[in-house]
A = this chain, B = another copy of it.
């Protein structure tokens, strides 16, 4: 393996590529967010923090920030991709603000727009956009979070008064963790089992007022504050109980299901279950926004840790009076640089996902593409938020005691993003959703092949027929076809080899999973037990699928770049991303004969070499995120220059004449 020399690249060149299609939205967000209060909120009480975040939200509303995502006929710009990008950018600031904005404009506003019809749009969208009507998205209950289909709140139609009666039948059916509920929400999109004429029609959403214009909670509604949380304390999460609360028939968000005055139910979508998933599918943006914000928070943490790693020195270099910059240690590089590389990969995957949704939202509804997009969003949300949790943790540890101080922001970034792995869909459940989608596609595929084709298909394991390429199909195919399969001699940096390796792994994992789950159909099998016993396999299938999709997006992203210097640098970043992912899954590649012990060892060696190779570019790679100084916050990151000088002084070390040589330090 030969790593070509990578000359320095201007960070701004890389920024241009990262900023991509919605560069104007990103630049606008940077400018506006720099004007907001500091993202350091650790000294605020809960109440003061909530107040500050509400103030910031008003500031954003006044400046027209949320307009980008709303329909043009209500004063918006109708730019779906721009709207998602603007949420991603909020992830660089106080994450409470991002979440509160997400609740108001993304979830609540999104529900009214996507599930409601013109009567709701006319009446509410402008007020929602301008924050004159703060609202909640009341879906989760104490007893049912991931399993939304089995929520217990009921909305029973009473034809006598043409009203719905919204009711919390028992304690576990209370709405829980609802953002905007404890303090500011005046109305809620409540998800409940719709009942009319004694028949249930599954979960639907209705608009139910919570407070009057003075903020007083309305009769029949009870609200409790969820209290202090690990983070996001600028968001007022609460619990809501409804005691036979009556709302007019028109309160039903009736795009996918309506009730006539006489109580007759109708829907353009056949089947409770299909209707339910169609309704949920329209709310996909929440997951994409969370993934985006998680990505931004991870970049903030890496920016802080890399800058500190470049100024912090510890232990003398043997035979030299200099102390070693900690980012020169391999162990330190390994803590930060592969994670940095993967953050780049996820950035491109996120951009691709946003683009796809943007284009889909402007075109005719296509069931298959919509399902694919949902699966993509679920998978990327899980991958990105787990990456955030791991990486911000690693950044905290890489900054030692300084990383534990609130002023250096890492504790807040960690605590705020921590819930991302379990809200807007628990990651484990989401990965199962992804795997289920893959298996469905797989079964359709097998079905089309027929029995003869099936036999041929199973015999011929190498050609990846099932794997549909997601991005830059021609480019990826060309790269893949250029390598000889399973050639141990292929250069470790060969992109075609990487792509083929990931494709092949996905196909194999999915193949074996499908075969395993087929047993669930046996007469004597308990389908739950069969599925449950394979749950680790199911999660692996989702993971390796997402890894393949992310890699393809990264490759396609680099291909869009016109600057050769940036291309060269990003190719090395991509190499580190791929090979560290391969290294993390070495047991699979070894255990499935994809390569032998020597190549496995070479992979680890290559990760080390790439860390060393990218070390001089580390600052460029975090500078390219273009995080405004006002949003960096952490003194250990901002005081780089001061630190550099202090380091110089430490160099001119206390000159103590010594009787004898002092022993060498532990790590030297």
Chain A residues near B (Cβ < 8 Å): 42-43, 45, 140, 143-147, 149-150, 152, 154, 169-172, 176-177, 193, 195, 198-202, 226-231, 271-274, 276-277, 313-319, 323-324, 328-332, 334, 389, 393, 396-397, 400-401, 403-407, 410-411, 414-415, 418-419, 421-423, 426-429, 432-433, 436, 527-528, 531-533, 535-536, 539, 586-587, 590-593, 597, 600-601, 604, 608, 646, 649-650, 653-654, 656-668
Contact = CB atoms under 8 A, between A and B. Distances in A.
Contacts of A140: 401
A111 B532 CA distance: 54
A668 B400 contact: no
A657 B176 contact: no
- The winner among A592, A597, A604, A656 for most chain B CB atoms within 10 A is A656
A318 B528 CA distance: 6
Contacts of A328: 532
A646 B401 contact: no
B590 A650 contact: no
A532 to B, nearest CB: 5
12 contacts: A140-B401, A172-B646, A199-B659, A201-B659, A228-B406, A272-B660, A273-B662, A324-B528, A332-B428, A411-B418, A414-B418, A590-B600
Nearest to A400: B422
Nearest to A403: B422
Nearest to A593: B597
B663 A273 contact: yes
A331 B435 CA distance: 14
A290 B561 CA distance: 50
Nearest to A171: B646
Given A146-B315, A149-B662, 18 more contacts: A147-B314, A150-B315, A152-B650, A154-B654, A199-B656, A199-B658, A201-B659, A227-B406, A229-B404, A276-B663, A318-B527, A330-B532, A331-B535, A400-B422, A432-B666, A436-B666, A528-B668, A590-B597
Contact of A169 (B45, B170, B421, B654): B654
Contacts of A271: 660, 663
Contact of A274 (B401, B415, B663): B663
B334 A536 contact: yes
Contact of A393 (B393, B400, B533): B393
Contacts of A318: 527-528
Contacts of A146: 314-315, 400, 666-667
A647 to B, nearest CB: 8
Contacts of A154: 654
B43 A228 contact: yes
B405 A656 contact: no
A330 B535 contact: yes
A418 B401 contact: no
Contacts of A405: 226-230
A666 B43 contact: no
- List 7 A-B pairs, minimum CB-CB distance, nearest first: A273-B663, A200-B656, A230-B411, A586-B587, A228-B406, A590-B590, A330-B535
- The winner among A316, A397, A527, A539 for most chain B CB atoms within 10 A is A397
Nearest to A649: B170
Given A272-B659, A403-B422, A422-B397, A666 B314 contact: no
